[in-house]
Amino acid sequence: MSPAEAAVDRHHILTVLVENKAGVLARVAGLFSRRGYNIFSLAVAPTEDDRFSRITIVVDVESAPLEQVVNQLDKLVNVVAISELAAASAVQRELLLATVAAAPEERSQVIQLVGVFGGEVVDVGADRLTVMLAGPPEKLDGFEGLLETYEVLDLQRTGRVALPKIDVPPPARNRLVAIGS
């Protein structure tokens, strides 16, 4: 296993349904820091039901067994449900924005690269471009690597969001944990 693959292997995706109340993100983040768990990435947004938000956390389980992380999260009163998604049974997406220095003679190369990946140019200046790519995190990794050929002035990724794949039957690798279960 390559180091990169090993890193991915340590990452587990938790999608955490929380009550949409003040301070909930602080409670979740505080739990991770005080128990010494590592967050690799984190994304929060309201769900279709405005009483709840969904937090997608990618956990680095080198620091603690996933079971402990889930059980401790379960105890937060504002946490309604936790699903653990194995990478293979989840649909994952992430968005990347990057501002790249591109003199007029380089500009078309960058635009071409963005086109190959199915991204978009979202802003153009005299000597720079801002590009956007949405997709699976690995695709963004590849794109980010190639962008480094140019001078990247700014780069921001959102952290991934994920939902279970529809055709994967629920048991074993894709368990839904409710509080107290």
Partner 1 sequence: MQLTGAQALIKSLEMEGVEVMFGLPGGAILPVYDPILSSSIRHILVRHEQGAGHMAEGYALATGRPGVAVVTSGPGATNIVTPLSNAYMDSTPLVVITGQVPTASIGTDAFQECDITGVTMGITKHNWLVTSAQDIPEVVASAFHLATTGRPGPVLVDVPKDVSNASMEWHWPDRLDLPGYRVPGPPERADIERAAALMAAARRPVLYVGGGVLKARATEALRALAERTGFPVVTTLMARGAFPDSHPQCLGMPGMHGNYTAVTAMQRADLLVALGARFDDRVTGRLDAFAPGAKVVHVDIDAAELHKVRRADVAIAGDCKVVIEALSEAAAPMLAGEDPVSRLSAWWDALRRWQREFPLHYERHSEPPIKPQMVIETLRDLSPPDTVVASGVGQHQMWASQYWRFDYPNTWINSGGAGTMGFAVPAAIGAKVGRPDRTVWAIDGDGCFQMTAQELVTAAAERIPIKVAILNNAYLGMVRQWQEMFYGERYSEVYLSPDLPDYVKWAEAMGAEGLRVETPEEVAPAIEKANAVDDRPVVIDFRTDAFEKVFPMVPAGASNDDVMVHPQHTERADAERLAWERLEAERLAWERVAAERQR
Instruction: Compute φ and ψ for 81, nearest 5 degrees.
Output: -155, 150
SS3 assignment, position 5: helix
Start-end of H helices in 2-136: 3-9, 24-35, 66-75, 104-117
Task: For the segment 59-88, give every residue that binds partner 1 (CB under 8 A).
Answer: 65, 67-68, 71-72, 74-81
Q: How many helices (H) and strands (E) does the chain have?
A: 5, 10
The smaller minimum CB distance to partner 1, of residues 59 and 131, is found at: 59
176 binds partner 1 (CB under 8 A): no
User: Interacting stretch for partner 1, rule CB under 8 A, among 17-25, 103-111, 141-149, 160-168?
Assistant: 17-25
**Can you tell me which of 34, 36, 126, 156 binds partner 1, judged by CB under 8 A?**
34
18 binds partner 1 (CB under 8 A): yes
User: Interacting stretch for partner 1, rule CB under 8 A, among 23-31, 109-117, 130-138, 155-163?
Assistant: 23-31
The CA distance from 5 to 14, in Å, is 19
